């Protein structure tokens, strides 16, 4: 079932001591966790509903991701959700409504919710109440309340798109629902409970961040890939290395621009996600890649990582040649790589070595490059 998502990030975060959706959690903004996960789970489009005037903060938090747009929310959560629904570029069969403050959505959660929509108008992840419930006032117990049949509803909540829109149209303006299922329930719709997950916790109080940091480690897996490439020297006046054009009395021969540094890094990134090698994605027999700038290959590989909800952590490349001297160009190469990869400068290392006259690089028949890349992906 195809679906869109509305991520509600419009809260002021009064209980968490300030807006929590923009705060960093294990190296990235809270809202980014959800948007990455929903896109990786197959959301066609994600609308992020922000407080009015904070759209730019969302754009900063989501830089480099695709398939999202922002819209300004309203005075209440219900108005914010309706603004998000109205901003969807094209309706899908289903829509997921999610609180930005619940960062740990997985593909499995999304699949269970969509499956439940086969026989319902809506589906919510929910956990049975495990603690004993008390009604109290002024720190005194008034009564113990039966917890039989009581569930804690989480998000994302999934709905048939038309059903949710119609339910909101029928909702009385003066009432304030605390979730979207309540709106569908009131309109007479059926809502299924699917198993919730403690990891779908909502960041509510400042101390919740410590628990979330611990969960964040378990929610990510680190991957490593390596790549190697070599090209032959031929007649020329300049050479491309790590995305930088260097004046030289020879050039590297290849179908593309023969930038062995970028090719090795591209293979390292592809290797880390098990996505084959550069030749699979850009066949040397395909005329459209003749003379192509190799940053295009690397950007494609990084795009595959991003599409899986992943993030490049660092790359380290070694150029193996007698000439040209790499050191004078090293900082320019690092800067260019950081730009192509959209990572901080200290996440990029460029090194060079000779082979002391031995082998094909020593005889100056060609130049070789080897690279390693680490990245993180959502845990499967
Ligand atoms: Mg190559």
Give all domains of the chain, ordered by start, each with its CATH number. 3-206 (3.90.550.10), 220-378 (3.30.1330.50)
According to the model, what pLDDT value does residue 368 have?
Answer: 98
Q: What is the pLDDT of residues 27-80, one digit of tens each?
A: 889 999 999 999 989 999 999 999 999 989 999 999 888 999 999 999 999 999
According to the model, what pLDDT value does residue 15 have?
Answer: 62
What is the distance in A from the centroid of ligand 1 to the CA of 260?
Answer: 5
What is the distance in A from the centroid of ligand 1 to the CA of 278?
Answer: 8
What is the distance in A from the centroid of ligand 1 to the CA of 258?
Answer: 6
Q: How many CB atoms lie within 10 A of CB 303?
A: 13
What is the distance in A from the centroid of ligand 1 to the CA of 319?
Answer: 13
What is the distance in A from the centroid of ligand 1 to the CA of 246?
Answer: 17
What is the distance in A from the centroid of ligand 1 to the CA of 147?
Answer: 64
- Average pLDDT, integer, range 214-223: 84
- Average pLDDT, integer, range 204-229: 89
- Is the pTM value of this prediction over 0.85? no
According to the model, what pLDDT value does residue 20 have?
Answer: 87
Q: What is the pLDDT of residues 68-92, one digit of tens each?
A: 999 999 999 999 999 999 999 999 9
What is the distance in A from the centroid of ligand 1 to the CA of 64?
Answer: 26
What is the distance in A from the centroid of ligand 1 to the CA of 221?
Answer: 29
Tell me the DSSP string of 311-376.
EEEEEEEEEE-SSS--GGGHHHHHHHHHHHHT--GGGEEEEEE--TT-HHHHTTSEEEEEEEEEEE
């Amino acid at each position: 079932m195809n679906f869109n998502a509305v991520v509600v990030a419009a809260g002021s975060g009064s209980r968490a001591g300030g807006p929590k959706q923009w705060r960093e959690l294990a190296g990235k903004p809270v809202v980014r966790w959800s948007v990455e996960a929903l896109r990786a789970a197959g959301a066609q489009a994600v609308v992020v509903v922000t407080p009015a005037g904070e759209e730019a903060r969302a754009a900063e938090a989501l830089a480099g991701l695709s398939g999202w747009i922002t819209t300004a929310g309203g005075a209440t959560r219900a108005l914010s959700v309706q603004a998000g629904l109205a901003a969807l570029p094209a309706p899908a069969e289903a829509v997921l409504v999610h609180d930005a403050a619940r960062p740990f959505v997985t593909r499995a959660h999304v699949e269970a919710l969509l499956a439940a929509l086969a026989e319902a108008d809506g589906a919510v992840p929910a956990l049975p109440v495990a603690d004993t419930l008390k009604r109290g006032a002024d720190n005194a117990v008034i009564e113990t309340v039966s917890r039989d049949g009581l569930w804690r509803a989480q998000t994302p909540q999934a709905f048939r798109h038309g059903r949710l829109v119609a339910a909101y149209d029928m909702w009385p303006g003066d009432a304030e629902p605390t979730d979207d299922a309540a709106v569908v329930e009131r309109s007479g719709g059926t809502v299924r409970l699917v198993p919730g997950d403690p990891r779908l916790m909502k960041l509510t109080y400042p101390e919740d961040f410590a628990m979330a940091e611990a969960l964040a480690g378990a929610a990510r897996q680190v991957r490593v890939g390596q790549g190697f490439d070599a090209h032959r020297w031929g007649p020329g006046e300049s050479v491309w290395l790590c995305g930088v054009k260097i004046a030289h009395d020879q050039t590297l021969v290849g179908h593309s621009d023969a930038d062995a540094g970028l090719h090795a890094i591209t293979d390292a990134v592809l290797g880390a996600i098990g996505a084959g090698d550069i030749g699979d994605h850009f066949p040397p027999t395909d005329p459209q890649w003749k003379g192509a700038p190799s940053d295009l290959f690397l950007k494609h590989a990084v795009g595959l990582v991003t599409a899986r909800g992943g993030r490049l952590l660092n790359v380290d490349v070694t150029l193996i040649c007698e000439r040209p001297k790499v050191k004078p160009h090293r900082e320019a190469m690092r800067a260019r790589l950081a730009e192509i990869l959209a990572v901080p400068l200290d996440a990029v290392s460029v090194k060079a070595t000779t082979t002391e006259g031995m082998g094909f690089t020593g005889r100056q028949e060609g130049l070789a490059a080897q690279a390693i890349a680490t990245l993180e992906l959502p845990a499967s």
